[in-house]
Amino acid sequence: MECSWKTVLLLVCASLGIQYTAIRSYSTTSFQCCPKCSETGVFELLCEDTWNSHGTFQQQTRKHIIIFATTRSGSSFTGQLFNQHPDIFYLFEPLYHVQQAFTNSSAKLKNLLDRRALLGAYRDLLHNLFDCDFYFLENYIKPVPKNHETSSFFRRGASSALCSHPVCDVSQDLHDVEEHVCAKKCKSVNLTLAAKACHNRSHMAIKIVRVPEIQDLRTLLEDPRLNLKIVHLVRDPRAILTSRIGTFTDQFRAWKIWNATRRKPHNVDLSQITTTCRDISNSAETGFSRPSWLKGRYMLVRYEDVAKEPVKKAKEVYNFIGLDWDDKVQRWVLQNTNGSAASIGNYKYTTSRNSTATAESWRLNLSFDIVQTVQALCNSTLSQLGYKLVGSVVELRNISHSLVEPRTFLPFL
Ligand SMILES: *[C@@H]1O[C@H](CO)[C@@H](O)[C@H](O)[C@H]1NC(C)=O
Ligand SMILES: *[C@@H]1O[C@H](CO)[C@@H](O)[C@H](O)[C@H]1NC(C)=O
Ligand SMILES: *[C@@H]1O[C@H](CO)[C@@H](O)[C@H](O)[C@H]1NC(C)=O
Ligand SMILES: *[C@@H]1O[C@H](CO)[C@@H](O)[C@H](O)[C@H]1NC(C)=O
Ligand SMILES: *[C@@H]1O[C@H](CO)[C@@H](O)[C@H](O)[C@H]1NC(C)=O
Ligand SMILES: *[C@@H]1O[C@H](CO)[C@@H](O)[C@H](O)[C@H]1NC(C)=O
Ligand SMILES: *[C@@H]1O[C@H](CO)[C@@H](O)[C@H](O)[C@H]1NC(C)=O
Ligand SMILES: *[C@@H]1O[C@H](CO)[C@@H](O)[C@H](O)[C@H]1NC(C)=O
Ligand SMILES: *[C@@H]1O[C@H](CO)[C@@H](O)[C@H](O)[C@H]1NC(C)=O
């Protein structure tokens, strides 16, 4: 009886256009197709049955994690707390490819873009990646991959799984090496092998910075098969802005001039930081209001708290997700929050630095009038998350007086 159900399931999955042949080589076939089948609603019960009777360790304990962040909010460092875990397959912002496919550098085109369509494509990609379907990603990669192989995989070097066997066959494992070394040595990514490596790890974590609000992920959170957990990473918007000015030099040229000359150019664009603050605030508000679709799935984490006590904070996050702590993560944290690691280089996205020192160092790097401007634009976000306002330059530059109020943000269990 059950065998024939399974057969029906597989046929249905095949007819739904899932790459059955690609999937059948893995023992977790029924697990892989269940979420898709259940989307039709019809085979839900069948799936349930197959799911339970064939549940192995992997199927029942598999965790899917999204590190939900904005650019320059400390997400590279926080992502490493997952990337370093040997059982986690970690990806660094795969949504980049979707955005690239939907638009080109023409800003006008971007504004015209239907936001809903883009968000829908983001969700689709996340869902497929959590199923280890890397062929789906090919729809968005430019240039179009040939033979399921691409040399344009965004930030592949930031994923230790994509820098080690079998995806990258170099003599030594590269995960402790810098990102650009992996990108250089490992050449192109064979997406068939990436899927294989993904299946071989028991959990998956994806860092994203392109989805504006938690609400935009609601349908994924409501899918019980996905069993998704969200780690909402926030950071002081004044620090985010400082980091963006230093990193995205073209886009923030006017801000840089303002900071250096103390005179506000007429073309300073206040909208981006305003939007960032609004999005952070709306998402946090959603989390704090504890809707049923976030129950057991949401935890807010301030980057400053991660930077201050990374091991303690990381353990709290692991505990919320239900993952065992790993010594390798601990070792990585100790090595990379130690001043000695700061000399690895000033690679633009490096996470190797004295994180305690960098979390509030923006205060020495931003003019007081810009700080005042951001405080006015973002004051409700700042107070919501426990970041103190400053009223004078002296207060701003006095690093021994922290602007991060001690706060506990309990996960929504
Ligand atoms: C972007 O798209 C527009 C409209 O299709 C086209 O005219 C323009 O050349 C494209 N720009 C780039 C950089 O691809
Ligand atoms: C990618 O890996 C698969 C599985 O090992 C292999 O069959 C395929 O030939 C590889 N593709 C390329 C383009 O090397
Ligand atoms: C799966 O993981 C094990 C150990 O974790 C490793 O020995 C094996 O090579 C991996 N296989 C693939 C296909 O990634
Ligand atoms: C301060 O800003 C400069 C210029 O953008 C940047 O090079 C430097 O790394 C920043 N320093 C800190 C501590 O943020
Ligand atoms: C921190 O760095 C020093 C050298 O700079 C090294 O001796 C020490 O072992 C490091 N500590 C940890 C925990 O990695
Ligand atoms: C890291 O920064 C903190 C805060 O500035 C400082 O107390 C500590 O000594 C630094 N650690 C190293 C190893 O430089
Ligand atoms: C802002 O200006 C100060 C003083 O000129 C400079 O030290 C700092 O690096 C600048 N910050 C940024 C982010 O460019
Ligand atoms: C934010 O600033 C506005 C205008 O200055 C003020 O009315 C409001 O009370 C402030 N909100 C908070 C939370 O400080
Ligand atoms: C800096 O802050 C500390 C702690 O709040 C305070 O004791 C000290 O007086 C402040 N220094 C100045 C120059 O304001």
Domain positions in the chain are 35-60
Question: Separation of 188 CA from ligand 2 center, angstroms?
Answer: 11
Looking at 36-45, 132-141, 282-291, which range is the least confident one? 36-45
Q: What is the pLDDT of residue 111?
A: 59
Question: Separation of 379 CA from ligand 8 center, angstroms?
Answer: 6
Question: pLDDT digit string (tens) for 330-370?
Answer: 998 887 776 543 333 333 334 445 555 678 989 999 999 99
Query: What's the mean per-residue pLDDT of the chain?
Result: 82
254-258 average pLDDT score: 97
- The CA dihedral of 133, 136, 141, 146, to the nearest 10 degrees, is 80
- Nearest CA, atom 12, ligand 6: 339
Q: What is the pLDDT of residue 248?
A: 95
Atom of ligand 5 nearest to the CA of 340: 5
Using a 6 Å CB cutoff, which residues line ligand 8? 379-380, 383
Long-range contacts of 31-38 (CB under 8 A, 24+ apart): 31/58, 31/59, 32/131, 32/132, 33/9, 34/9, 34/225, 35/127, 35/131, 35/223, 35/225, 35/226, 36/131, 37/9, 37/12, 37/13, 38/225
Instruction: Give the mutation target among 397, 399, 401, 405 for probing the ligand 9 site: most ligand atoms within 8 A of CB.
Output: 401
Using the CB atoms, write b or e for 102-131: b if 16+ within 10 Å.
bbeeeeeeeeeeeeeebbebbbebbbbbbb
Using a 6 Å CB cutoff, which residues line ligand 1? 104-106, 109
9-38 average pLDDT score: 38
Percent of the chain at pLDDT exceeding 70: 76
Q: 204: which strand partners?
A: 64, 89
pLDDT of residue 141 exceeding 50, the answer is yes
Q: What is the pLDDT of residue 63?
A: 94
pLDDT of residue 11 exceeding 90, the answer is no
DSSP 40-85: HSTTHHHHHHHHHHT--HHHHH--EEEEE--TTSSHHHHHHHHHTS
Q: Which has the higher per-residue pLDDT, 114 or 362?
A: 362
243-264 average pLDDT score: 96
Neighbours of 235 (CB within 10 A): 27
* 8-state DSSP, 387: B
Residue in the structure block whose two tokens are 């729809």: 139
Q: Which has the higher per-residue pLDDT, 393 or 337?
A: 393
Asked whether 303 and 78 are in contact (CB, 8 A), the reply is yes
pTM of this structure: 0.82
Q: Is 246 in the pocket of ligand 4 (CB under 6 A)?
A: yes
Omega before residue 166 within 30° of 0, cis: yes
Q: Which has the higher per-residue pLDDT, 351 or 118?
A: 118
170-197 average pLDDT score: 79
Q: What is the pLDDT of residue 107?
A: 54
Looking at 49-63, 366-380, 391-405, which range is the least confident one? 49-63
Instruction: Give the mutation target among 165, 175, 202 for probing the ligand 3 site: most ligand atoms within 8 A of CB.
Output: 165
Q: What is the pLDDT of residue 101?
A: 85
- Phi/psi for 204 (5° steps) reads -140, 135
**What whole-number distance in Å separates Cα of residue 30 and Cα of residue 9?**
8
Neighbours of 309 (CB within 10 A): 14
**What does the block give as tokens for 269?**
């664009």
**What whole-number distance in Å separates Cα of residue 209 and Cα of residue 4?**
43
Q: Which has the higher per-residue pLDDT, 190 or 34?
A: 190
Residue type for position 53: S
Asked whether 156 and 183 are in contact (CB, 8 A), the reply is yes
